[in-house]
Amino acid sequence: MSNVMKILGIETSCDETAAAVVENGVKVLSNVIASSVDLHAKTGGVVPEVAAREHIRQITPVVDQAMEEANVGWDDIDAIAVTHAPGLVASLLIGINTAQTLSYIYKKPLIPIHHIAGHIYANFLERDEKPAFPILVLTVSGGHNELVLLKGHYQFEVIGETLDDAAGEAFDKVARLLGLGFPGGPAIAKAAEKGNSKAIDFPRPMLDEKNKYNFSFSGLKTAVRTHITDITEGRDNDPGLQDNTINDIAASFQAAVIDVLSDKLVSAAREFGVKEVYLAGGVSANQLLRQTVSDKLKGKILLIYPKQLIYCTDNAAMIAGAAYFCPRKVDFRKIEAHSQFPLET
C-alpha cells in the first residue's frame, strides 16, 4: 500500500453542502461548497427544514464535483469521512446517509468526524510544518466556543467553554439587532471598520476564578439591546439607527468580544505552557481577533489560523483532513447523528 491516503470528506451539519478530497490530511485536491446562506439571509437565520431540503438537492452534484475537481475515481479513494455531530440533525442525516451509501457501494471505511474536530484540523490544511504539541485551540463558531488543549493528534481536552451563547452566535444576534443581516460576523466586522470601538464601554464578562476559562456572551448581547432601546425609545416617527451609530455599536461590541476571547486564550496558553495557539471556526476569519491575539502573544507563542478564509467557515476539506488523523474507523451501519455531542478523544 502506498503511503498516500486520499479521503473524501462530506459536511452537511448546517447550511453548507460540502465535499472535498484531501491527501494525507494536508493536501487539498478539491473543496466544493454549495451554500444556502442566501435563502437564510431572508429569514435572518438558518431554517432547519430549508437547509435540509437544499442539502438533498445539492449533495450528489457536490460530491461528483469534488471527485472530478480532484481528478480521482473511486479506486483512488481510501476512506470516506462525514460530519456526524454536532449540527442540525435533519441536515447531518443527509450527509451521513450519502456517506453510508457510498461506503457500502464502494467498500470504503467510514470515519465519523466531530464538526469541531474538523474546524481544529482546518489549521493543518496546506501546512508543511510539524505541529508542536500540546497546542491550545480557541474554537469560535456559530454553535461552539471552547478552549481545547490538543495534547497530541486527536487527543482533546476541553478546558473551557461558553455557558450560554457562542461568540459567532453573539455576532449573529447583535447583527440582527442592528439590522445588518445574516450571517452577522462578517457584517459586524465590516461596519466596525468605520466605527469607533471606544464609543461605548460594553461589559467584558471575564467571570470568576472558577470560570476563568469559560465564556458568557448573553449579558453582552443584552447590554447592546438595552443601549439600542435607550437610543430609540420615545421616538415618535422612529427613523431607526443612524449609520454612524450602528458602526460605533458594531465596533464597540466587536472589541468587547475580542478582548474576552483573546485575554482568556492568551492567559490559558501561558498557564499550560504551549508553544502554539490555533484559532478554529467561523469567527477565526475575523481579522481583529487574529491581530489582537497575535499582539498579546508578543511573538513568544506561535499563532496559527487556517491558511484560507474558506477553511475557517464550514467546509469538507477540514472533515477529510481530520479523518486522516482520526484513529476511528467504523462499520457504516453503526454511525449515529447527534445534535450535541462532546468533543471526545
Find the radius of gyration of the CA atoms of the chain. Answer: 20
Among 142, 160, 306, 321, binds ligand KG4 (CB under 6 A): 142
CB atoms within 10 A of CB 36: 22
Torsion, Cα of 174, 178, 180, 186 (10° steps): -40
Alpha carbon 180 to its chain's center: 20
Per rule CB under 6 A, is residue 283 in the interface with ligand KG4? yes
CB atoms within 10 A of CB 243: 11
Phi, psi of 312 (to 5 degrees): -80, -50
| Smallest gap from residue 255 Cβ to ligand KG4 (A) | 12
Q: Is 314 helix (H, G, I), strand (E, B) or coil?
A: coil
Per rule CB under 6 A, is residue 184 in the interface with ligand KG4? yes
Choices 28-36, 129-137, 177-185, 259-267; region in contact with ligand KG4 by CB under 6 A = 177-185
Total residues at the site for Zn ion (CB under 5 A)? 2
CA distance readout (Å), 144 to 72, 99, 225, 234, 237: 34, 24, 22, 37, 40
Per rule CB under 6 A, is residue 311 in the interface with ligand KG4? no
Among 12, 30, 98, 141, binds ligand KG4 (CB under 6 A): 141
Choices 148-156, 209-217, 259-267, 276-284; region in contact with ligand KG4 by CB under 6 A = 276-284
Cβ–Cβ < 8 Å for 12, 59: yes
| Residue ranges in 11-30 that form contacts with ligand KG4 under rule CB under 6 A | 14
Per rule CB under 6 A, is residue 172 in the interface with ligand KG4? yes
Per rule CB under 6 A, is residue 143 in the interface with ligand KG4? yes
Binding footprint of Zn ion on the chain (CB under 5 A)? 141, 314
Binding footprint of ligand KG4 on the chain (CB under 6 A)? 14, 119, 141-143, 168-169, 171-172, 183-186, 189, 281-283, 285-286, 313-314
